[in-house]
Structure 1
């Protein structure tokens, strides 16, 4: 459970969390694939996978299908949290993240994920 720490008069208000102080957004949004080649694009966080030119469209469509089959409403909440981290204070980010986690935990997709885990099957998300 999330517990908000009260600020005392001795503590100055916190400054917004800037991008350099936080995990860079590309790294937070995408995990690097194990065994991925070391290239400048990977070091900069702008690529996490390399495919041959002829395989680019099928690989892109496969990735899009995987995202579309996932808990899309929760993905949207995660994206809002990442974006808020660039402009809001740390306390605001934590408060917002706690709310978004609660909403996601109460969603139909969350219940489906638990059912699928218990039944040892792939989940069928509906985006709610």
Structure 2
């Protein structure tokens, strides 16, 4: 089972991913991303909290790249945080860790003086919590 919990914070928006991001579940990420894109320019970065991500395949990578391109067109950043080692390897193999900024944790990804583990992304308020599940 896969879910995306969306939390608005002062600095931007956090998408907490839980479960396996694959062909069958990427629609939840697309739906959450489309709602976020309606906020438009100046709404701050989107941080993907990967701490609960158990698996990600090429479909999941494609969904993240799609969201990155859409947010970039609005002058916003997509940042990855708390990447588990098993998922981090895929991101390193595909080069996604070079395209996007990867942070040790969500707080670091939201903060302005945070330590980037792998650089690549770019960069502000938010919505109430909502959750989408498959």
TM-score of the superposed pair, with normalisation by structure 2: 0.23
Work out which structure has the larger RCO, using CA pairs closer than 8 Å and 6 or more positions apart in sequence: 2
Question: Which protein shows a greater Rg?
Answer: 1
Structure with greater helix percent: 1
TM-score of the superposed pair, with normalisation by structure 1: 0.24
Structure with greater strand percent: 2
